[in-house]
Amino acid sequence: MNIVIREMSKELFSVTAKMITQLMNYHRKLNNAPKEYWQIDEESEEDLKCWTKEGTVYNILLEGVVSMFVDAIPRNTGAIKLYRECGFDHLNLIQLRKNYDKNLDKKEEIDILGFNFKKY
């Protein structure tokens, strides 16, 4: 893995500010914050200016990343919806489970690729 840590350059200022906006709004979305509390790029730029006045900001660069995977259990539809909104739109793996204790069985069902499963 080729990870590089660099002092933030002027060229990366606006890119870094946009990443701060995305991170802050990701957190606010997870906490169901009303939209009026969401961050805008201009606020992130102001924050970043304040931070650089007090110290140094570093960018951590991981070059060569071409994909990323996240896991979500089927019953966590909120997480699945959030991941879809963040661009995770490729189904990569289906994990199947067999319960030997029938008390663990769920009743709600889900159809995936034409197969019917219990939603766990």
Q: Dump pLDDT digits (tens) for 43-96.
A: 999 999 999 998 998 887 777 777 778 888 888 888 888 888 888 898 888 888
Is 73 within 8 Å of 12 (Cβ atoms)?
A: no
The residues, any chain, with a CB within 8 Å of residue 69's CB and separated by 6 or more, are 92
Give the pLDDT confidence of 14-38 residue by residue, as tens digits. 999 999 999 899 889 888 889 999 9
pTM score of the predicted model:
0.53
Task: For 25-37, give one letter per residue: b (16+ CB within 10 A) or e.
Answer: beeeeeeeeeeee
CA dihedral 106, 111, 117, 119 (to 10 degrees): -30
Q: E-strand spans in the chain?
A: 3-7, 58-62, 109-112, 115-118
Distance CA 52, CA 68 (A): 30
